[in-house]
Copies of this chain bind each other. A is one copy, B any other.
């Protein structure tokens, strides 16, 4: 992992771009912290450049509460090489959605399972690199992104102590068994009228999580309509569990 750029944002946050092997990533740290900051991994659906404004806003919000935040590009997104199988699955999904058809399990499996298998080891490698930096420490929180990646990470990565998940993307049926094995504290966001997400499946997934401490926050509106106050609530969730 090496840094490729560094700049100071106007609210006392240091933003550094890095490369981990061939994977680009961004790290935000509170510039004036006296002690190493606990880390929040900031998830996204893929495409760092396109997602940058929203990611940076979430990271700066976390930094204002004393957290470092970091993210890496997903396999097959942004400037990373495309996989023809993933592109085909994505096209099939788009076709089903545009035709107003139910999205069948086979498409979801084809789209999400290989993504989870590839992404999770990369996020764990990023954790190795990030936690080796002098200004970052555990425990680690996970915030948002492709929920299936979050589920797998919560199961396999013991350094992640709490997760704020967004029930806003497709979850392969086989991952409900993994959800039952999640035991860390969870806060799950659900947009009640999310265009691309089945409400009942999201409620079933929340029910399936094995965590004793889990909270569902359902709000009105579509996929991108998460209310601003959920940002503060997310910080408070991490304060409860990462300190």
Cβ-defined contact, B217 with A192, below 8 A: no
Cβ-defined contact, B229 with A240, below 8 A: yes
A-B contact pairs, 24 of them (CB 8 A): A192-B207, A192-B216, A203-B203, A206-B218, A211-B220, A212-B220, A213-B220, A214-B219, A214-B220, A215-B217, A215-B218, A215-B219, A215-B220, A215-B227, A216-B216, A216-B217, A216-B218, A216-B219, A217-B217, A218-B218, A229-B236, A229-B240, A232-B236, A233-B233
Complex contacts, A206 vs chain B, CB 8 Å = 218
Q: Interface residues of A: mostly helix, strand, loop or mixed? A: mixed
Of the four ranges (under 10, 10 to 19, 20 to 34, 35 or more), the interface on chain A belongs to: 20 to 34
Complex contacts, A203 vs chain B, CB 8 Å = 203
Residues 110-167 of A at the B interface (beta carbon under 8 Å) = none
Complex contacts, A215 vs chain B, CB 8 Å = 217-220, 227
In whole angstroms, what is the CA distance A236 to B231 when docked?
13
A190-226 vs B, Cβ < 8 Å mask (1 yes, 0 no): 0010000000000100110001111111111000000
